[in-house]
Amino acid sequence: MRYILISLALFLSACSIKHYEQTETKIFVIKSPLLRFADLAYIRNSENAVQVELFVAGKSIKKIAINHLVCVDEGCVSKSTFNTKYLNANYPSNILQNILLAKAIYNGKNRVQMQNGFVQKIQTENVNIKYTVTNKVTLFKDRKNKIIIKIKDTSL
């Protein structure tokens, strides 16, 4: 019984309120089989967690919180389960968190440093990704799976 209570407490704490150190307003675009959004978003993050709050006409419509699990309005799931449902099962489990934080994906594979950021091109039988990170824009495009994630500063 004790183990069940401990497991339940750990599971429920995954979706608990987090204290984020940084909050930025961004123009956020995502196009995938189950997610379609293009408007303003707050991206909040701390050392090990990130949250995206999506807005339409000034009203919050969805939150995606990522730490060791990914929590959306429907509940919390593992990162790989989230990828399978909303993005692509062939992606590494931390890909969305890395994109939101403008970090390298696929452990930095094929990373080419530029003056104001970097580019990664990853092509396998399952993906055809071009991922560009600059000071103002983060753009993830997977042509094979028709997935786009674009995060742009609102100051542009």
> Do residues 70 and 124 make contact, with C-beta atoms less than 8 angstroms apart?
no
d(Cα 84, Cα 92) in Å, to the nearest integer? 10
Q: How many domains does the chain have?
A: 1
- Helices and strands of the chain, counted as H and E runs: 3, 11
Structure confidence at residue 47 (pLDDT):
79
Closest CA to 132 of 80, 146, 110, 145: 110
Question: Would you state the pLDDT for residue 73?
Answer: 84
pLDDT number for residue 133: 97
Per-residue pLDDT of the chain (156 residues; tens, 9 = 90+): 444 444 444 444 444 455 667 889 999 999 998 889 999 999 999 877 999 999 888 888 889 999 999 998 889 999 999 999 999 999 999 999 999 999 999 999 999 999 999 999 999 999 999 999 999 999 999 999 999 999 999 875
- Per-residue pLDDT at 18: 55
Asked if 50 and 86 touch (Cβ cutoff 8 Å), the reply is: no
CATH number at residue 88: 2.50.20
What is the Cα Rg of the chain in Å? 16
Confidence at residue 20, expressed as pLDDT on a 0 to 100 scale = 63
| Host H or E run for residue 140 | strand 137-142
Q: What is the DSSP string of 41-60?
A: EEEEE-SS-EEEEEEETTEE
pLDDT of residue 123: 96
CB–CB of 95/105 below 8 Å? yes
Q: Are strands 117-123 and 22-31 parallel, antiparallel or unpaired?
A: unpaired
| Helix, strand or coil, per DSSP, at residue 76 | strand
For residues 22 and 43, what is the distance between their CA atoms, to the nearest angstrom?
A: 8
What pLDDT score was predicted for residue 2?
A: 46
- Residue 19 has a pLDDT of 64
**Rounded Cα gap, residues 119 and 132, in angstroms:** 4
**Domain region containing 35:** 2-153
